[in-house]
Amino acid sequence: MHVEIGALDGVLMFISTPHRDERGFFTRTFDVSVATAHGLDPASFIQDSQSRTIRGGIRALHGRAGRGEAKLVRCARGAILDVLVDARPGSSTYGEQMSVVLDDENFTHLYVPPGLLHGYQALTEADVCYRIDREHDPAEDISVRYDDPDLAIQWPLPVTAISRRDLAAQSWRQLRTRLETALDPNPRDVSNNDVP
C-alpha cells in the first residue's frame, strides 16, 4: 500500500496493491501503520457505515459544521465518482474541488479531512463504505446542491436518483457567506444601512 497526496489540502489516497489469481483477488484496504505514518490516528474513527446507490444516483454535497468530521471512504462494490469541495475558509485550497474514481478494481481508500464537502455519483450500482471520527449529529449537517452553478461540478451521468433533502440544499454562495461570517470577529450589521 502506498499513499498519494490529493489536490486539496490534507486529502490522502491510500492505494492498495491487489493480489490476483485464479480464485479472484486479495487486497489490504487499510493499514494502521501506513495511516499513522501519514498523521492519522486510526483509533479516532469510531463509526462505520455503508450505502448502496443505483447507477446514476447522487449523494451530495454533505459536510459538518463546527469542528467537522474526518472520514475514510472506499467503494467496496462497483464504481463511483467521488467529489470533494474545500469548505474551510482558512485553507490554502478553500473553494477548490477535486474528484477521483473509487472502485472495486483499484481499492483506493480516500481520507477526507474535516471541513470538506463530500459527495459522489454511482457509475454502476455501488456500495460505499465510510469510517468517520465523530458520532453523527444531524443538527451539524450542512449541504450544497449537487448542481450548484458556482461549483459547476461535471457529473458524468444523467441523474437517476437524488434525495429530497439534497434537492433542498443551499447554494455554495450561501454556505460561503455563512462560513465566512462565522469567522469574522466584527461582522457588519447591514440590516440598518439607512439609519444614521
Residue 189, phi then psi, degrees to nearest 5: -90, 105
Closest CA to 34 of 58, 15, 59: 15
Q: Confirm whether 118 is a catalytic residue.
A: no
Catalytic residue (one of 62, 109, 120, 136): 62
Closest CA to 69 of 88, 96, 54, 82: 88
Catalytic residue (one of 109, 111, 120, 130): 130
CA distance 86 to 92: 9
3-state secondary structure of 65: coil
Q: Is the peptide bond before 81 cis (omega within 30 degrees of 0)?
A: no
Q: Confirm whether 62 is a catalytic residue.
A: yes
Q: How far is CA 60 from CA 105, 132, 163, 191, in A?
A: 23, 17, 9, 33
CA distance 187 to 182: 9
Q: Which residues are known catalytic residues?
A: 62, 130
